[in-house]
Amino acid sequence: MKLAKAIATIAFVTGIASAAAAQDYPSKPVTLVIPYAAGGSTETMARVFSVALGEEMGAKIVVKVRPGAGGALGASEVARAPADGYTILFSTASTLMWPPLTQDVDFTLDSFDFVAKISDYQQAIVAAADAPFDTMEELIEYSKDHTLSYGDQSSLSRAFTDAVAEMEGIQWNGIPTKGGGEMVPFLLGGKIDFAWSGGVHQSYGGKMKVLMSMNYGRLAASPDVPSIQELYGISMPSQAILSVPKGTPEDVIAFISDKAEAAMEDPEFVDLMNNKLNFPLAYQDSKQITEAIVESNAVLAKIAGKE
C-alpha cells in the first residue's frame, strides 16, 4: 500500500511539473533540425519559415542542418532528443516512414509526434532543358537504346524510380546526391541524364523540364504533365511536416502547431512559397497529419515488401 501510494505521489508530482513546464514554454531557444544538405528546397523553406515561427512563438529558433542517410541521421537525432518541445524536425513525412522499413535505424514512426503539415513537396522526374527527351514516354524510348544515369536523393526516391524502370523493362543507373543542392549542378553540368527532384527544379525555370510528377496528382506548376499515379498506379508521400520526439506534451504540440499555422501567413514565407519555390501552402493540424501519415505508411510498407 505504501509503495502504491508513493508511486501515485510521484506520478502526481511529475504531472504537475510537466504541466508547469508546458505553461512556461518556450523559455529558451528552440532547435529546428533540417535533415538534408544546404541548398535544397527543404533547407530553403525551413530557414525562412524558422524566422516567422520564432516570431510567432516568441522564441529564438536555432537552425541546425544535419544531413546524411537520406534524412535518417537528422531524424535519429530528433528522436533521441528530450520530449520537451525544444527540438523540432522539419522534413518530408517519408523520411520518418521509409528508413525504418528498409534500413537499420534507431527510430521508428512511433518515435515521433507529428505537429503540423506545412506544404506538399513538388516531387518530379526532371531533365535539363536541352535533354533529348521532353516527356516520360520519350525518356523510356530513349532509354531502350542508351545507358542513362539519374540522380536520386534517398533510397525512397531510388525505389520509386527503379520501380518505373522495372515496369518498363529497362535499367537506369542511380547516382546518389546529397539533396537538391547537389542534384542541380550534377544535372545541369551533364553528370547525370535526369533526376528525381523534391521541388528545387521549380526555382530553375527554363533550365529544367518536368517529365513526370511523382506525387499522387499533377503539380500545380506543371498541370499538363502526368503523374506517376496516372501512368503507373503508384505515388510517393509528399508532405512537408514538423515533428517532435514522442511524448512531447500535448499542449506544447498544440502551441507549436497553432504558431506554425500563423507563421505560414508571414509575407516573406508566402512570397517564397508562391513565387520562388512554387510550393502550395497546405496546413494540417496534428490530428490531420497523423492520420495521413498512418495511411501513407501502409502504402510504403507494401512497396518495401513489409506487408
pLDDT tens digit sequence for 63-79: 999 998 889 999 999 99
Q: Is the pLDDT score of 83 beyond 70?
A: yes
Residue 154 — very low, low, confident or very high, per pLDDT cuts 50/70/90? Answer: confident
CATH number of the 124-232 domain: 3.40.190.10
Instruction: Give residue 13's pLDDT.
Output: 44
Please give the Cα distance from 41 to 230 (Å, whole number): 25
DSSP assigned state of 226: P
Where, residue-wise, is CATH 3.40.190.10 in the chain?
Answer: 124-232
Is 78 or 179 the better-scoring residue by pLDDT?
Answer: 78
State the fold for domain 2-121+238-303.
D-Maltodextrin-Binding Protein; domain 2 (3.40.190)
Query: In this predicted structure, which of 14-23, 31-40, 221-230, 257-266 has the lowest mean pLDDT?
Result: 14-23
Total residue count of the chain as it appears in this document: 307
To the nearest 10°, the Cα dihedral for 290, 252, 96, 176?
A: 130
Residue 212 — very low, low, confident or very high, per pLDDT cuts 50/70/90? Answer: very high
Residue 180 — very low, low, confident or very high, per pLDDT cuts 50/70/90? Answer: confident
Could you read off the pLDDT of 244-258 as tens digits, one per residue?
A: 999 999 999 999 999
What is the overall mean pLDDT for the chain?
A: 91
Where, residue-wise, is CATH 3.40.190.150 in the chain?
Answer: 2-121+238-303
Burial code of 143-167, b = ≥16 C-beta within 10 A, e = fewer?
beeeebebbbbbbbbbbbbbebbee
DSSP assigned state of 238: -
Query: For residues 157 and 92, is the Cβ–Cβ distance under 8 A?
Result: no
Spatial strand order of the sheet with 112-120 comes to: 61-65, 30-34, 87-92, 239-245, 112-120, 281-284
Could you read off the pLDDT of 267-298 as tens digits, one per residue?
A: 999 999 999 888 999 999 999 999 999 988 98
Q: Take residue 300 and report the three cell numbers written for it.
A: 510504403
Residue 6 — very low, low, confident or very high, per pLDDT cuts 50/70/90? Answer: very low
